[in-house]
Structure 1
Amino acid sequence: MSLSSRSAVAIHALTMLARWERSLTSAEIAESLASNPVLVRRILGSLRDAGLVLSSEGRGGGWSLARGPREITLHDAHIAVEAEQVLARHPHPPNSECEVGRHIQAILEVEFQAAEQAMRERLGRTTIDDLVSQVLIAERSLPSRR
Structure 2
Amino acid sequence: MSANSKLTVAAHALAWIGLYQRRGHEVATSEQIAASVNTNPVVIRRLLAELRKAGLADSRRGVGAGWMLSREPTAITLLDVYEAVEPGPLFALHRSTPNPECVVGRGIGPAMTTVYDDVETALRKELAKTTLEDVLRGVLNAT
**Distance across 2 between alignment mates of 1:4 and 1:136:** 24
Report the number of matched residues: 139
Q: Is the contact made by 1:25 and 1:62 (CA closer than 8 Å) also made in structure 2?
A: yes
Alpha-carbon distance between aligned partners in 2 of 1:134 and 1:57, rounded to the nearest angstrom: 31
- Residue 113 of structure 1 deviates from its aligned partner by 0.5
Q: Tell me what 1:108 maps to.
A: 112
Report the Cα offset of residue 49 of structure 1: 0.4
CA deviation vs aligned residue, 1:8-49 (integer Å, no higher than 9, x gap): 111111111111213100000000000000010000000000
Q: Hey, what's the Cα distance between the residues in 2 that align with 1:3 and 1:43?
A: 17
Q: If the length of structure 1 is used for normalisation, what is the TM-score?
A: 0.91
Q: How many Å separate the matches in 1 of 2:87 and 2:40?
A: 21
Q: C-alpha root-mean-square deviation of aligned residues, in Å?
A: 1.0
2:58 aligned partner, one-letter code: L
CA distance in structure 1 between the partners assigned to 2:78 and 2:93 by the alignment? 24
Residue 74 in 1 paired to residue 78 in 2? yes
Contact 1:3–1:86 (8 Å) recurs in 2:
no
1:72 alignment partner AA: I
Q: State the partner residue of 1:126.
A: 130
Partners of 1:94 and 1:27 in 2: CA distance: 46
Q: Is 2:50 the counterpart of 1:13?
A: no
Scaled by the length of structure 2, what TM-score is found? 0.93
The residue type equivalent to 2:87 in the other structure is A
Instruction: Please list the CA deviations of residues 98-126 of structure 1 after superposition, one character each: whole Å capped at 9, or x if unmatched.
Output: 11111110000000010011111111100
Structure 2 stretches lacking a partner, 5+ long: none
Does 2:66 match 1:62? yes
Q: Tell which deviates more after alignment, 107-116 or 6-15.
A: 6-15
